Structure 1
Amino acid sequence: MTDPATDLRFDGRVAVITGAGRGLGRAYALLLGSKGAKVVVNDPGGALRGDGDDAGPADEVVREIKAAGGEAVACTESVATPEGGQAIVQTALDHYGRIDVLVHNAGNVRAGSLRELSYEDFEAVVDVHLRGAFHVVRPAFPLMCEAGYGRVVLTSSIGGLYGNHGVANYGVAKAGVIGLSNVAALEGAEHGVKCNVIVPAAVTRMAEGIDISAYPPMGPELVAPVVGWLAHESCSITGEMLVSIAGRVARAFVAESPGVYRPSWTIAEVGEQLAGIRDTSDPWVLPPVPSAHVDHIRNSFAMATKGTDNAG
């Protein structure tokens, strides 16, 4: 095992971390700060629903980083607006003159069944998780491209990958983040900018009301090193998703079955060929970078060009 004293460092790097006043974001900020990064600790300090504001959590994390010998500054702007996102990135420029790392972790929760969810609660969650990601990526990304270096880590969830009851707003937002990350990875590739997604799970205040008595250890500190690696200059992947839950780290990915080709279809034939259509025994795994979009089209066209009916 690697000696923590010789772990990877961030000396000279400037990291902006949203939602860094509590929970996962706090763990990320403390870790990167302890490894030499200059950290912008962004958190308006609101309640779980996103209501209210309190400078205390962000200020406290800054104090912790400084007490450990690091450098940090607090920013209480909200990611929910374009102006807030710009101000968060500008804080890094004003205090440290650059931005090397952007971790978008800010989140809120407004639960409600799909039959009852209000438009207000839908928009409020999308504003923070999804639009919030764009609001900080948009001003940071050109700066990173111009500098020829950048690491962006966006936050999805198993709720975005697989859905869950009572959180359509959250599921939509977390799924959308994956699309944003793929585009940032593609457009950043030639400029030394890498973008990946963390799919984390940890016991934080978002677990309030859940029976966690049977849970294994799954504190934020188990997720933080994964984000640290994605944020580090040695990160060797882009356009990917890493899962971190209870000490397990894994890759999540989108795949397709090869499917069935026919020169023409009837409605009935789709049902008749469903087993072959859904056969995942030899899947296509198409990494977004460098060319999944093109590969998907090319491979599909190749089946049509061959003109061979492979229906069973």
Structure 2
Amino acid sequence: MSRMCEGRVVVVTGGGRGLGRAHALAFAAEGARVVVNDLGVGLNGTPAADSPARHVVDEIRAAGGEAVAHGGDVATGAGAASLVATALETYGRLDTLVNNAGFLRDRMLVNLDEDDWDAVVRVHLKGHFLPLKHVAAHWRAEAKAGRAPVARVVNTSSGAGLLGSLGQGNYSAAKAGIVGLTLVAAAEFARYGVQVNAIAPAARTRMTERAFAETMTAPEDGFDAMAPENVSPLAGWLGSAARDGVTGRVFEVEGGRITVMEGWRAGPTADKGARWTPQEAGEAAVKLLGEAGVPGAVYGA
């Protein structure tokens, strides 16, 4: 039986650990040749001693798959360009980009340094934009040459980006930005055969192990709801050619649960047909709020 990603070439950023590692192994198990990108930094983005991308490549090859490591910084133009070049030079094609790289520098806003803001927004949001830009340029050239790609992008947002999270203003802002980027890319790249979606995963990784500390022990029923491997099946499906027409969507994934997230859309509206006075505007707003749904709580509130 043919595997879902047989013959596809898939790039996974931040693929050395956690969700990225799970995605890389899952794509390889479905027949993909995988470019495993990881800068090899610690949880806060500072350099680490080992090469996690190489370890994942070794795992894939030991299981009979094909993979190559890439250690560039995808939040730079040169690093993102070399990522695409690695796929094309090694395998001659590129079908799927999984944007996953990230790290944390958590602080309450009043204590959040400008450098910590810039660093997190850079690696998450810019680290999504630049690989997407470079791979889309390749796919656009392919489409113009008459070789329309069946191309896919899977971006990684977070519940923090959808609802907010106390102590994570930088991370929440970056992850919310990724949702906006996903919507724009899906609309712009549809003409080239590119589908762009995002997942908002909840899983136990280096970034979340403190939040999920109470679930670290093995569950009695054998199902570890916080295992990152639970997220990868949906990422694999979104990155495959299995379904056409799914684009510009955000899916929350946790354990055995998949939810289609519905973002900002028009709710209750009042139109005076003329300029409001401040008093009138306030009265109208209070009335509309009474008709609107209650927003979800910010994580940690």
The answer to whether the Cα contact below 8 Å between 1:156 and 1:178 also exists between their aligned partners in 2 is yes
CA distance in 2, matches of 1:243, 1:167: 19
**Structure 2 vs 1, CA of residues 202 and 32 (structure 1 numbering), >3 Å: closer, same or farther?**
same
The answer to whether the Cα contact below 8 Å between 2:225 and 2:254 also exists between their aligned partners in 1 is no
CA distance in 2, matches of 1:271, 1:222: 46
Alignment deviations for residues 103-146 of structure 1 (CA, whole Å, 9 cap, x no partner): 00000100111111111111111111000111101110121233
Equivalent residue for 2:270?
A: 260
TM-score using structure 1 length: 0.84
**Structure 2 vs 1, CA of residues 211 and 61 (structure 1 numbering), >3 Å: closer, same or farther?**
closer
**Displacement after TM superposition at 1:205 (Å):** 1.4
SS of 2:111's equivalent? coil
**Structure 2 vs 1, CA of residues 211 and 187 (structure 1 numbering), >3 Å: closer, same or farther?**
closer
**Alignment of structure 1 residues 101-250 onto 2, 5 Å:** 101-147=96-142, 148-149=148-149, 150-210=151-211, 212-214=213-215, 217-235=225-243, 236-250=245-259
Equivalent residue for 1:12?
A: 7
**Displacement after TM superposition at 1:208 (Å):** 3.3
CA distance in 2, matches of 1:196, 1:187: 13
Q: Which runs of 4+ in 1 moved over 6 A?
A: none
The answer to whether the Cα contact below 8 Å between 1:44 and 1:54 also exists between their aligned partners in 2 is no
Equivalent residue for 1:269?
A: 280
The answer to whether the Cα contact below 8 Å between 1:20 and 1:41 also exists between their aligned partners in 2 is yes
**Unpaired runs of at least 5, structure 2:** 143-147, 217-223, 294-301
**Displacement after TM superposition at 1:98 (Å):** 1.5
CA distance in 2, matches of 1:7, 1:155: 27
Q: Percent identity?
A: 43
Amino acid at match of 2:26: L
Amino acid at match of 2:108: S
Amino acid at match of 1:127: R
**Displacement after TM superposition at 1:219 (Å):** 0.4
Equivalent residue for 1:99?
A: 94
TM-score using structure 2 length: 0.87
The answer to whether the Cα contact below 8 Å between 1:256 and 1:280 also exists between their aligned partners in 2 is no
SS of 2:153's equivalent? strand
SS of 1:200's equivalent? strand
**Displacement after TM superposition at 1:258 (Å):** 4.1
Equivalent residue for 1:59?
A: 54
**Structure 2 vs 1, CA of residues 272 and 8 (structure 1 numbering), >3 Å: closer, same or farther?**
farther
**Unpaired runs of at least 5, structure 1:** 1-5, 282-312
The answer to whether the Cα contact below 8 Å between 1:260 and 1:276 also exists between their aligned partners in 2 is no
**Structure 2 vs 1, CA of residues 234 and 275 (structure 1 numbering), >3 Å: closer, same or farther?**
farther
CA distance in 2, matches of 1:82, 1:54: 24
**Displacement after TM superposition at 1:88 (Å):** 1.2
Give the number of equivalent residue pairs.
Answer: 276
The answer to whether the Cα contact below 8 Å between 2:252 and 2:258 also exists between their aligned partners in 1 is yes
SS of 2:109's equivalent? coil
